[in-house]
Structure formats: structure tokens, C-alpha cells
Amino acid sequence: MIRAMQDRVPQLVTTIAGLREAVAAARRAGQRIGLVPTMGALHEGHLSLVRAAKRECPCAVVSIYVNPSQFGPKEDLAAYPRTLDADLAALSACRPDWVFAPSNQEMYGRDHATWVEVGSVAQPLEGVFRPGHFRGVTTVVLKLLNLVQPDAAYFGQKDFQQACVVGRMVADLNVPVTIRVGPTVREPDGLAMSSRNRYLSPAARQRAVVLWKSLQLARRLVEQGERRAETILAGMRELVATAEDVQIDYVALADPQTLQPVEAVSRPTLAALAVRIEGTRLIDNCLLEP
Ligand code: AMP
């Protein structure tokens, strides 16, 4: 009861002018500002990042924006869940200071013609299967960083490559912000929380745990002394193939800095995979530490 009384729906701003005004007041007060960019349909994974931002920054801003430029022409932009009222209610317990939920018109206007494109780390893995995706992500994230000018911005390990790409962008373009990466929050059976999980039928939801199982298998093999990437990848692929109607986009072992494939797990290595289950594309990853 007491908790409920303390919870307060966060203040919503939908315009760039309103957002700038809100953060300017915090900046004048000398407050550290944290930004958590999201596309909404919030779950515990997002909320963990908001809590981290709030722990470290007296002023926390959450953006909720389904960014059209990061969706390919055949992807799920139209179907992507938009649940602003539920998101605001979910956020009330984490007490961010501001929620920025702009329209497309507000974010891109009519004449938008500038794009931010990261090379290297944006090219493998998701870069192969979602051409143009990271260009949309980096463009919108740089816009949000310029609007809020946060001291720290919070991303989830769930989208490991995205965090790498954003890290590369802020380093290369000298953006004065610290990128913080929070751990992947999972359902009790291990499935990484994702806004896209709600697309899954009950049967597909059950099969989706195969991503986590294949990452656990990789961990187990490494613990048992296996180092050959080829062998570990074969085991992961075989395990994924045991689930009905699951198509693999990729299963990869990569250097966690460069994201280039490795031949042996001789140092900390990223295990990552992307699969499609009944048309829903899911990704997951973990670090293997030999
Ligand atoms: P999205 O709304 O999917 O664009 O995600 C917004 C942010 O939340 C990104 O930095 C994601 O990596 C992060 N995120 C999404 N799912 C999870 C999760 N299960 N655990 C931790 N962070 C997550």
C-alpha cells in the first residue's frame, strides 16, 4: 500500500522543446542525467535498465519510440506492440523523471537526410541479416543523445551487438557520454525477455527456450574443456534443430570486441544466435569464459 502511494506515473513529454526544457532544469541543478532508450512494450529487462539509471543519476529519462528507420521493409514495424499507457504504469514503480515519447514527425520531420553509419562491428551477425538496421539505430540514438545530453546511457546485453555499435559510434564521434550495459533479464525458463516474445503462440513460446538451451550447451562444452569453435557451433546448431519449425539465421562464436568469428574459445568469447520461430525473430547471446 505504502509503495503504491509512493509510485507516481512519470511525466510524459512528446516534443523536443519540452524534453530540452525538462533536462535543462536538471542540468542547471547540477544533476547527473541518465538516458534509457527503448521502443516500449516494456518488460522487466527494460525496467532493470531504468532502475540502474535511477540508481546512478538523479535525473533519469526513458525514451519510448518505435524507430521506423531501424526496421527493414519486410520487418514488423506495423505490428510492433505500442502500449504507452501500460508502459507508463510499469514505469511508475521505477520512478524515472521523464518519459519522452515523440511522434515520427517530431523525430524526423519531413526533410531528414542525415544518417550515422558505423562500419566494422555493425557488419557481421545482425548486420548480415538486417541490412540498414544499425544505421537506423545509430541515427536515432545519436539524435536522442544530442537531445538529452546525458552523462550515461543504458543498454542491455540482450542486444550485445547494438551496445558494441553504439559504443563504437560514441567513441568515434567523441560523444561525451558513458555507455553502460546491463545484464540480460530472463524468464524463469531462461528465455531472454523481449517485446517480441508476445508474438509467440503458446507452443512457439515453449520452443523458444531452445536459444537459451543452446547457449547453456556452449557453456557446458567449454567448461568440459572443448575449445574448437566448429565443434561447439555444431552442438548448438544440432540442439536448435531439435525444436520444430525453428529456422536459424546464425549461430556464432565471435570476439566480443571485434565481433569477428573465432576458431577457438581460448579467451572470453561471445556466443550469439538469431532464429525465427513461426516468423518471429529472436536473438540471444552469452559470454563464454574458458
Ligand atoms: P528495445 O525496446 O527492444 O529496443 O530495447 C531497449 C533496451 O532494452 C535495449 O538496450 C535492449 O538491449 C534492452 N533490453 C531488451 N531486452 C532486454 C532484456 N531481456 N534484458 C536486459 N535488457 C534488455
User: What pLDDT score was predicted for residue 5?
Assistant: 45
- Is residue 99's pLDDT more than 80? yes
Q: Could you give the CA distance from residue 143 to residue 156 in angstroms, rounded to a whole number?
A: 19
Q: How does pLDDT run across 155-200, given as a tens digit for each residue?
A: 999 999 999 999 999 999 999 999 999 999 999 999 999 999 999 9
Ligand 1 centroid to 211 CA: how many Å? 17
- The answer, yes or no, to whether any atom of ligand 1 lies below 6 A from the CB of 46, is yes
Which atom from ligand 1 is nearest to the alpha carbon of 192? 19
Active site residues: 46
Is residue 227 within 8 Å of 266, Cβ to Cβ?
yes
Percent of the chain with pLDDT over 70: 97
CATH topology classification for 195-283: Pantoate--beta-alanine Ligase; Chain: A,domain 2 (3.30.1300)
Ligand 1 centroid to 22 CA: how many Å? 24
- Is residue 10's pLDDT more than 60? yes
Q: What is the mean pLDDT of residues 45-60?
A: 98
Whose Cα sits closest to atom 11 in ligand 1?
Answer: 156
Q: How does pLDDT run across 234-263, given as a tens digit for each residue?
A: 999 999 999 999 999 999 999 999 999 999
User: What pLDDT score was predicted for residue 2?
Assistant: 45
Domain ranges of the chain: 2-182, 195-283
Q: What is the mean pLDDT of residues 13-20?
A: 98
- The answer, yes or no, to whether any atom of ligand 1 lies below 6 A from the CB of 87, is no
> For a substitution probing ligand 1, which of 71, 159, 284 has the most ligand atoms within 8 Å of its CB?
159
Give every strand in the sheet of 59-64, ordered side by side: 11-13, 98-100, 59-64, 33-38, 152-156, 178-182
Q: Could you give the CA distance from residue 105 to residue 103 in angstroms, rounded to a whole number?
A: 5
Q: Could you give the CA distance from residue 270 to residue 260 in angstroms, rounded to a whole number?
A: 10
User: What pLDDT score was predicted for residue 9?
Assistant: 74
Average pLDDT, the chain: 96
More confident residue, 84 or 6: 84
User: What pLDDT score was predicted for residue 1?
Assistant: 41
- Is residue 61's pLDDT more than 70? yes
Q: Which three cell numbers stand for residue 228?
A: 574448437
- The answer, yes or no, to whether any atom of ligand 1 lies below 6 A from the CB of 184, is yes
Q: Could you give the CA distance from residue 150 to residue 60 in angstroms, rounded to a whole number?
A: 9
The highest-level CATH class for domain 2-182 is alpha beta
